[in-house]
């Protein structure tokens, strides 16, 4: 349930990447379906793959091949999926509607923003400029700290790089692990219902805010910024 206003405006916003700022599912799905067609299998329907995108290899390979990380053959598929994805990361990937306006509004309000993702840096670093996010204040990837979300370490590293105390940061994500990480880091958490969201309805994640669009997040921030301290 959303916290009641007024609440102090944040000094920085940290975002997940896949399913939060960027709709990367088309290219992630294309890579895993390439592996299926190589094996003479029909492509897995995009509607099945899309909700798993924020779970990375575990989600995509699980949906496309029915394998989990402990299963024989999973690791081979993971490596091959990574290799294929790296050749075509930004063919159809794009920012969600309203994200450009959101980031412009955050900048205009004098707030910092950055990205904290579980995506490995081998993908994050080249992808960010290709989809228009090269101006992020920080980029913390899944292999930056040695921990992945829901561990709070990546979020705390993002706050450190922005030089903002964690309690003055918000974390925005489309997976329950994002909200768990944000809470563990002492940040206000925002569940974005416009993302992939996985199997568990975001209403049950325990986020401080559940918002349906990037522009709704912008209006919430503007309301807080306009409120007296």
Would you say residue 3 has pLDDT above 60?
Answer: no
Chain mean pLDDT for the chain: 94
Would you say residue 2 has pLDDT above 70?
Answer: no
Distance CA 66, CA 74 (A): 9
Quote the pTM value. 0.94
* C-beta of residue 2 within 8 angstroms of C-beta of residue 12: no
Would you say residue 229 has pLDDT above 50?
Answer: yes
- For 80-107, give the secondary structure using H, E and C: HHHHHHHHCCCCCCEECCCHHHHHHHHH
Number of CB atoms found within 10 A of residue 203's CB: 11
Catalytic (active-site) positions: 16, 18
- Torsions phi, psi for 177 (to 5 deg): -65, -30
* Tens of pLDDT, residues 164-196: 999 999 999 999 999 999 999 999 999 999 999
* Tens of pLDDT, residues 36-73: 999 999 999 999 999 999 888 999 999 999 999 999 99
Distance CA 191, CA 202 (A): 7
pLDDT confidence bin for 5, thresholds 50/70/90: very low
Distance CA 185, CA 187 (A): 6
- Residue indicated by tokens 């995506």: 119
User: In 3-state terms, what secondary structure has residue 223?
Assistant: helix
């Amino acid at each position: 349930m959303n916290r009641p206003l007024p609440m102090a405006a944040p000094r920085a916003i940290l975002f997940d990447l896949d399913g939060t700022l960027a709709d990367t599912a088309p290219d992630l799905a294309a890579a895993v379906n390439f592996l299926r067609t190589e094996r003479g299998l029909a492509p897995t329907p995009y509607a099945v793959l899309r909700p798993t995108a924020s779970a990375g290899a575990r989600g995509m390979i699980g949906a496309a091949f029915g394998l989990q990380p402990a299963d024989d053959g999973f690791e081979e598929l993971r490596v091959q999926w990574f290799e294929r994805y790296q050749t075509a990361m930004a063919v159809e990937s794009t920012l969600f509607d309203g994200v450009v306006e959101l980031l412009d509004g955050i900048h205009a309000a004098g707030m910092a923003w950055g990205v904290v993702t579980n995506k490995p840096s081998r993908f994050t670093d080249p992808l960010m400029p290709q989809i228009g996010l090269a101006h992020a204040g920080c980029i913390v990837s899944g292999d930056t700290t040695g921990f992945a979300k829901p561990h709070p370490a990546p979020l705390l590293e993002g706050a450190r790089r922005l030089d903002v105390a964690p309690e003055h940061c918000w974390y925005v994500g489309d997976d329950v692990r994002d909200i768990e990480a944000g809470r563990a880091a002492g940040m206000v958490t925002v569940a974005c219902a416009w993302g992939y969201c996985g199997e568990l309805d975001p209403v049950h994640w325990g986020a401080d805010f559940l918002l349906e669009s990037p522009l709704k997040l912008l209006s919430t921030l503007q309301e807080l910024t306009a409120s007296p301290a």
